């Protein structure tokens, strides 16, 4: 975990996770907080945290920073093809995208991490929502 100048952990970011660990977090939420038969997070918290509670629009820029979705508790909320989904994104193109209705967890880590080169960051949400989710619903190859 990253720490601030006083040594405290930053609550909004700073996790260092492998794609596999990120997928495990998605799977935990997909299973309503249960891991290997043990309840780790309550189903009530999973449901509450993955519902929209804020518009996701920045009070300073007026831009929806979640790509048009609502914001839950550390999750962006969307409805591709009318299905409830939630995702988190982070530094270096890290994305964890979950569509419970499809039993689907998608993890990406696709971009450079140079903060001075934001153009190197690939926008993965349009790829997930435009290709992966439709492919998972149709059962056919859409690539």
| 8 domain residue, yes or no | no
CB-side neighbour CA atoms (13 Å) of 62: 0
Choose between 7 and 29: higher pLDDT. 29
Q: Which residue has the tokens 């960051």?
A: 121
Q: Which residues, including other chains, have CB under 8 Å from residue 64's CB and lie 6 or more apart? A: 55, 56, 57, 58
Among positive and negative, which fits the CA dihedral 15, 20, 21, 24? positive
The tens digit of pLDDT for each residue in 23-39 reads 999 999 999 999 999 99
The CATH number assigned to the domain holding 59 equals: 3.40.710.10
Contact (Cβ atoms closer than 8 angstroms) between residue 25 and residue 110: no
Strand pairing of 85-90 and 70-71? unpaired
Q: What pLDDT does 26 receive?
A: 97
The tens digit of pLDDT for each residue in 67-105 reads 678 999 989 999 989 999 999 987 767 899 999 999 999
Total structural domains in the chain?
1
Structure tokens at 12: 């909004």
Measured between alpha carbons, how far is 124 from 109 in angstroms, rounded to an integer? 9
Structure tokens at 81: 């093809």
Prediction pTM value: 0.83
| 24 domain residue, yes or no | yes
Q: What pLDDT does 121 receive?
A: 63
Range of the domain at 96: 19-138
| 11 domain residue, yes or no | no
């Amino acid at each position: 975990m990253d720490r601030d100048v006083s040594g405290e952990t930053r609550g909004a970011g700073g996790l260092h996770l492998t794609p596999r660990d990120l997928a495990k977090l998605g799977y935990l939420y997909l299973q309503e907080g249960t891991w290997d038969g043990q309840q780790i997070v309550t189903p009530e918290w999973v449901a509450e945290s993955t519902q929209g509670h804020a518009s996701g629009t920045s009070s300073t820029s007026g831009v929806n920073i979640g790509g048009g979705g609502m914001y839950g508790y550390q999750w962006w909320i969307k409805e591709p093809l009318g299905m409830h989904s939630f995702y988190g994104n982070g530094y270096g193109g890290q994305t964890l995208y979950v569509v419970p209705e499809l039993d689907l967890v998608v993890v990406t880590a696709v971009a450079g991490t140079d903060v001075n080169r934001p153009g190197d960051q690939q926008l993965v949400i349009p790829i997930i929502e435009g290709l992966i989710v439709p492919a998972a619903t149709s059962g056919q190859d859409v690539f």
